[in-house]
Amino acid sequence: MLTSSQNVPVFLIDPLILELINKDFEQVKNTSHGSTSECKFFCVPRDFTAFALRYHLWKNEEGWFRIAENMGFQCLKIESKDPRLDGIDSLSGTEIPLHYICRLASHAIHLVVFHERSGNYLWHGHLRLKGHMDRKFVPFRKLQFGRYPGAFDRPELQQITVDGLEVFIPKDPVRFLEEIPHSRFIECRYKEARAFFQQYLDDNTVEAMAFRKNAKELLQLAAKTLKKLGVRFWLSSGTCLGWYRQCNIIPYSKDVDLGIFIQDYKSDIISAFQDVGLPLKHKFGKVEDSLELSFQGKDDIKLDIFFFYEETDHMWNGGTQAKTGKKFKYLFPKFTLCWTEFVDMKIHVPCETIEYVEANYGKTWKIPVKTWDWKRSPPNVQPNGVWPISEWDEVIQLY
């Protein structure tokens, strides 16, 4: 069943089998090549077995199809344009393979083509059937991969022997399995971004470029720090708008904005940022209500972290005016998180980006606005009372 894959750089990503292997991990690791007769894992009844194909290591693409077909496989190849060229002015090139599905009798092998992307991650494409393709080739709806494009951290691999077959699997199958349900990836809207820059010329002054460079470094540092802590975060406010509207950092935005769910809050966030040279600038609110942290990056760039609170039908984050102790509430429709690529990083954004951006900036978000008052401009701001003076020392901390 698997031999055709032997000369192809693949690793096993099938959730069902990985799960089984993981349960029996110690035993699997200790089994030597001998016990070929047993078929504990690969013979579990199912329609597909999914493998990731590491495309950049693949050398014999042309010949491979033929070999598979000679072995009796029927193969389907799904290709598409290369998203890595989308961000660049009007390039079009050879299509890249996204999925191979090869069936033999009632079973099929799904080769999910993993492509290397900038930001040190692996990407696979959306499995979309073209007009002439056989819709009943395999039960497509049962596929575990391909409903959406996906992004994964590049896993370290290990070779193991399963049912007498040597296969590569992720070294940490649990982690990989956890990534699968949250792997959905959305591409930046490069075409719209280009249209935006045609209308509003890009700012290429030395200051703008310096800001972008510093903001990018700050974002990368913040991402690294939060990843180490295991804290999920996403691009919020102006940084999110910059990604969505122009696939870049807005040069006049003056800060980098991130969102974190309050349930992901960890008390060592502040010290972790301090350790990497980002001292706390202010802290507003408290964990139970309207928490907001602000760190000082170099060259006067601020890193703002807003904590999001979930209600039954919406999400919100809080704001505090230091002078008056006034509280504000910014409401958002509920959203989930998707991966995207931004300034050479794999990073989260709300999947429902347009709703998120429109909540924050209104329907006119496409028009650049350079003066923005956080207390009045956003359409989703609501007054939320005033902090009692007795709490000010705790909820308004300026450094």
Partner 1 sequence: MDDWKASSLIKPFGARKKRSWYLTWKYKLTNQRALRRFCQTGAVLFLLVTVIVNIKLILDTRRAISEANGDPEPEQDYDEALGRLEPSRRRGSGPRRVLDVEVYSSRSKVYVAVDGTTVLEDEAREQGRGIHVIVLNQATGHVMAKRVFDTYSPHEDEAMVLFLNMVAPGRVLICTVKDEGSFHLKDTAKALLRSLGSQAGPALGWRDTWAFVGRKGGPVLGEKHSKSPALSSWGDPVLLKTDVPLSSAEEAECHWADTELNRRRRRFCSKVEGYGSVCSCKDPTPIEFSPDPLPDNKVLNVPVAVIAGNRPNYLYRMLRSLLSAQGVSPQMITVFIDGYYEEPMDVVALFGLRGIQHTPISIKNARVSQHYKASLTATFNLFPEARFAVVLEEDLDVAVDFFSFLSQSIHLLEEDDSLYCISAWNDQGYEHTAEDPALLYRVETMPGLGWVLRKSLYKEELEPKWPTPEKLWDWDMWMRMPEQRRGRECIIPDVSRSYHFGIVGLNMNGYFHEAYFKKHKFNTVPGVQLRNVDSLKKEAYEVEIHRLLSEAEVLDHSKNPCEDSFLPDTEGHTYVAFIRMEKDDDFTTWTQLAKCLHIWDLDVRGNHRGLWRLFRKKNHFLVVGVPASPYSVKKPPSITPIFLEPPPKEEGAPGAAEQT
- Beta carbon of residue 365, minimum distance to partner 1 (angstroms, whole number): 21
- Beta carbon of residue 366, minimum distance to partner 1 (angstroms, whole number): 21
Tell me how far CA of residue 149 lies from CA of 98, 116, 125, 254, in angstroms: 10, 13, 4, 32
Identify the residue among 8, 13, 143, 347 touching partner 1 (CB under 8 A).
Answer: 143
Whole-number Å distance between alpha carbons of 35 and 52: 25
Query: Residue 80 or residue 161: which is nearer to partner 1 going by CB?
Result: 80
Query: Residue 145 or residue 330: which is nearer to partner 1 going by CB?
Result: 145
Is residue 251 close enough to count as binding partner 1 by CB under 8 A? no
Whole-number Å distance between alpha carbons of 212 and 310: 32
Identify the residue among 39, 107, 148, 362 touching partner 1 (CB under 8 A).
Answer: 148
Query: Residue 251 or residue 318: which is nearer to partner 1 going by CB?
Result: 251
Is residue 385 close enough to count as binding partner 1 by CB under 8 A? no
The contact mask relative to partner 1 for 64-83 (x = CB under 8 A, - = no) is --x---------------x-
Is residue 181 close enough to count as binding partner 1 by CB under 8 A? yes
- Beta carbon of residue 97, minimum distance to partner 1 (angstroms, whole number): 12
Identify the residue among 22, 40, 74, 84 touching partner 1 (CB under 8 A).
Answer: 84
Measured from the Cβ of residue 188, the count of other Cβ atoms closer than 10 Å reads: 20
Judged by DSSP in three states, 117 sits in: strand
Binding segment (CB under 8 A) for partner 1, from list 2-10, 61-69, 363-371, 385-393:
61-69
Identify the residue among 23, 59, 175, 266 touching partner 1 (CB under 8 A).
Answer: 59
Instruction: Mention every residue, 6+ apart, whose C-beta is less than 8 A from residue 26.
Output: none
> Total residues at the site for partner 1 (CB under 8 A)?
49
Query: Residue 183 or residue 290: which is nearer to partner 1 going by CB?
Result: 183
Identify the residue among 30, 70, 159, 204 touching partner 1 (CB under 8 A).
Answer: 204
Whole-number Å distance between alpha carbons of 154 and 156: 7
Binding segment (CB under 8 A) for partner 1, from list 134-142, 221-229, 249-257, 286-294:
134-142
Contact 207, 252 (CB under 8 A): no
**Taking Cα atoms as reference points, which of 260, 370, 393, 374 lies closest to residue 320?**
374
The contact mask relative to partner 1 for 306-345 (x = CB under 8 A, - = no) is ------------------------------x-------x-
Whole-number Å distance between alpha carbons of 366 and 364: 5
Instruction: Mention every residue, 6+ apart, whose C-beta is less than 8 A from residue 283.
Output: 270, 291, 292, 293, 294, 397
Query: Residue 88 or residue 389: which is nearer to partner 1 going by CB?
Result: 88
Is residue 131 close enough to count as binding partner 1 by CB under 8 A? yes
Contact 127, 98 (CB under 8 A): yes
Whole-number Å distance between alpha carbons of 225 and 231: 9
**Taking Cα atoms as reference points, which of 232, 230, 175, 140 lies closest to residue 15?**
175
Tell me how far CA of residue 355 lies from CA of 292, 307, 314, 373, in angstroms: 22, 18, 12, 21
Query: Residue 201 or residue 389: which is nearer to partner 1 going by CB?
Result: 201
Is residue 56 close enough to count as binding partner 1 by CB under 8 A? yes
Whole-number Å distance between alpha carbons of 303 and 307: 13
- Beta carbon of residue 191, minimum distance to partner 1 (angstroms, whole number): 13
**Taking Cα atoms as reference points, which of 126, 333, 308 lies closest to residue 234?**
308
Identify the residue among 43, 44, 209, 386 touching partner 1 (CB under 8 A).
Answer: 209
Would you tell me which residues interact with partner 1 (CB under 8 A)?
56, 58-59, 62-63, 66, 82, 84-85, 87-94, 116-120, 126-132, 135-136, 139-144, 147-148, 181-182, 184, 204, 209, 212-213, 336, 344, 351
